[in-house]
Every structure is written in structure tokens, then in C-alpha cells.
Amino acid sequence: MTTLTQLPDDYVQNPHHVHDMLRAEGPVQEVHMPRGLKVWLVTRYDEAKIALTAPQVSKNIAEGGHLMAVHSPDTDQRREIEPTLAVHMLNMDPPGHTRLRKLVTKAFTARRIELMRPRVQEIAAELIAKLNDGDEVDLLEAFAFPLPITVICELLGIPIDNRDDFREWSNQLLSFGTPDQVQAAASAMAGFLFQHVTAIAQAEPDDTFFSALVHADDSGDRLNTEELISMAFLLLVAGHETTVNLIGNAVLSLLRNPDQLQILKDRPELIPASTEEFLRLEGPVNVATFRYTREDLELGGVTVPAGEILMVSLVAANRDPAKYADADKLDVTRSAQGHVAFGHGIHFCLGAPLARLEFDVALTQLLDRFPNLTLAAEPETLVWRDSTLIRGLHTLPVRLA
Ligand code: HEM
């Protein structure tokens, strides 16, 4: 067992060397997260995949939610999220998960996503048109954030005027706020979504995604209002906090590796395939969402007892040298297939095709219009957001050219 039981204070600023240390010692360790929560953290690739699919492991918040209080010394960690927002598929095991996922999959078809490409291109082009050579901007604020939030708001039929509210609420909810702020944000979001869902349910069905979801019917089975609110909440948060940071992290990696940037400028047709390498190297989800051991689980010779919180670092698994050679190196031509940046098993990211589409469009247009963009800050001064879930920067200052 490891001697490191408390993750260092600067863990979110530089998680990779901590992961390297833990991974070298064993596949899974009992550690205290930065705010004190005691968890079992998985850092090796093979064991990560086992932990994400093992039948001894549950995601059912109703069953395992109380473990947060049991394993946390800090009352901040014990807060309960607004119940209306929590009945979504990422908090469920089969059969509840299977039912919700089936209903949403009916509305979220690959065809519907691909049909969005021209609109995503248009949104990206509009954002880029507002930027000029010589400008120094925060690329997250000016480009990486508005693109996915506009797309997801349009998918859900939410007026774009509410975009800033959503950004604020989801920021608070991803644990950047105090317990009171989190509660206030959750209530505000639940209230807004209730009105939105009710309005769509009363309107005539049309061919938009959210209307299809509200009216989705699986042999008479439908989503009720609470389930629709939770689903919309999950899609909103999962749909933008991640893609923003995939774009930001990828641009940072490229600016720090000019040889790799040059390859993509010379051969932009490689961009779609290179998406997988950016996801692997610095994916926007560090530690996947909470899981609970329902029974003892053996992981690479270590037994995680029943009744524990299990966390899987996707970022650590994706840099496991046993899976990828030169795992810390960006290589836009490598085949990064098999990475777990979108998770693994039944909770595999539902939005992966949309995220890949948005990333492809974003990077293609950005490099085409500003091939000589540079970092406008020393890399060491960049600050990562204080979250173990989201791996993303606060700001990404760049000079456009
Ligand atoms: C689930 C990553 C974009 C919707 C997940 C999970 C991961 C992930 C790791 C599984 C979490 C776990 O098992 O604990 C990402 C990344 C994205 C991205 C890296 C962008 C680069 C999106 C988008 C949407 C979305 C654009 C929707 C529009 C979802 C949903 C789930 C999910 C609904 C839950 C699936 C289930 O429980 O069956 N995502 N995601 N994601 N994601 Fe994404």
C-alpha cells in the first residue's frame, strides 16, 4: 500500500506526477482527496476499465450517496444536490439506467448529430469573425466556451440569453461554490428547467432534439417531468464543461509542441483523427464521477472492500506507460484508440459524437484563420480550475495571428 495518503495541495495544478507515483506503486490506493474525502483512486489503465464495468460497483446515488458523509470529514462534501437534478442516468444502475439511456438515444441519433455539422460550422465562423489578427484574448472566453454552450442550448431549445446564467450555475455546481451557492444555483437551474420542460411538453411536437426527447415514447414508456429536468441538466453540464476544456487543453498542448502544431497546419485532414490523441493526453475529465463498491472488488491484487467510494482517474489511465509508449508525449499521428477519456462501459459518454464534431470544427477553423497564434503568457503562470472532475484552465491567453 502507498505511503501517500493525502493528495498534495497542488494536485489539480499538476496531477500527472502524482498519478505517475501512485501508478508505479499499485493499481489502486486509498487516498484523501484535496478536500478530505477518503476514496480509492485507480490510476492504471487495465484496472480502470475493470473498475468502470465491474458488477460489484454501483453508480446508484440512492444506494451509495450516504457514503459521501461516511467518508468525509468535511461537511462541505455532505451537501445534497437538489433531488430534481439528480435522477439522471449517470446516477443510476440498470434497469433504471438502461431505460433512460434508451429513451434519450432515440432522440440523440448519430444522424441528428451529423446534421448539425453545418450549424456548428456557422457558430464557430461567427465567433472567429469577431476576432482579429494581433488581438490578445482569453481563448476560452472568446471561442472555446461560447461554441459548445451555444450548440447545447440550441439542442435543448434554450434561449441563448440564458447562457451566462447557465455558465454561472454549472460553475457553482461543479463544486467551485460554497454549499449555499451550490444550493442556490441548483434551485435556480431546477426552476428554470421546470418551466422550460413544461412549455415544450405543452407545445406541438416538432423535429428539434428536445421536443423529440420530451415526446420520446418507448412502447408507451415516457420520461416524466422530473426525469426530463434531470436529463436536461445532465446534458447541459456534461455538454459544455467538457468540450470547452478539450478545446482549451488541446490548443495549449499544441502551442507547447510547435512541431506537432506544424504537422496539423500542413495536414489539416489529420485533425479529426488527432482528436483521440488530445482526448488521451489531456482529456477534460480527470477523475470520473463517483462510484461505490457494493461488494468487495479485487483490482490487480488489491481488495477494495464493500462500502467504499471508488474513483477512476481517466487522465491517469490514459497516460499509463503499459498501454501507450511515450505516454506523456503529444503525438498527433499516433493511434490513440482505446483511451478512456469518454469513460467505458454502460456510462460511456452519450455525447461523444457531438464532442468530436465540435472539436474537429473548432480546431480546423481556428488553425485555418489564425495559423500563427501564440501563447500570451508563460506556461507556468497558467492556473487550472480547482476541480478533480474537470481538467481545464481558468483562462488561456493567446495572441492571434
Ligand atoms: C458521460 C466525457 C461531451 C453527455 C460521460 C462520461 C465521461 C464523459 C468520462 C462518463 C462518466 C462516468 O462514467 O463517470 C466527456 C468528454 C466530452 C463530453 C471528455 C467532451 C470532450 C459530452 C457532450 C454531451 C455529453 C457534448 C451531450 C451533449 C454525456 C452524458 C453522459 C456522459 C449524457 C452520461 C451517460 C450515461 O450515464 O450513460 N461523458 N463528455 N458529454 N456524457 Fe460526456
Q: For residue 1, name the pLDDT band (cuts at 50, 70, 90).
A: very low
Write out the three cell numbers for 86: 439528480
ipTM of the complex: 0.99
Give the per-residue pLDDT at 280.
98
User: Span 127-145, mean pLDDT?
Assistant: 97
Distance of CA 267 from the midpoint of ligand 1 (Å): 29
Distance of CA 374 from the midpoint of ligand 1 (Å): 30
Give the per-residue pLDDT at 176.
61
Distance of CA 100 from the midpoint of ligand 1 (Å): 14
Residues within 6 Å of ligand 1 by CB:
89-90, 101, 152, 234-235, 238-239, 242-243, 246, 283-285, 288-289, 314, 341-343, 347, 349-351, 354-355
User: Span 179-190, mean pLDDT?
Assistant: 85
For 252-307, the pLDDT digits (tens) are 999 999 999 999 999 999 999 999 999 999 999 999 999 999 999 999 999 999 99
Global pTM value: 0.95
Nearest CA owner, ligand 1 atom 10: 343
d(CA 385, CA 389): 10
d(CA 60, CA 115): 34
Q: Which atom of ligand 1 is nearest to the CA of 344?
A: 13
**Residue from 87, 234, 342 whose mutation best tests the ligand 1 pocket (most atoms within 8 A of CB):** 342
**Residue from 349, 356, 357, 358 whose mutation best tests the ligand 1 pocket (most atoms within 8 A of CB):** 349
Distance of CA 343 from the midpoint of ligand 1 (Å): 8
For 190-205, the pLDDT digits (tens) are 999 999 999 999 999 9
User: Span 48-64, mean pLDDT?
Assistant: 93
Q: Tally the residues of the chain.
A: 401
What the chain holds in terms of domains, given with CATH numbers, is 15-399 (1.10.630.10)
For 358-399, the pLDDT digits (tens) are 999 999 999 999 999 999 999 999 999 988 999 999 999 999
Look at 2 and 13; give whichever has higher pLDDT.
13
Distance of CA 127 from the midpoint of ligand 1 (Å): 25
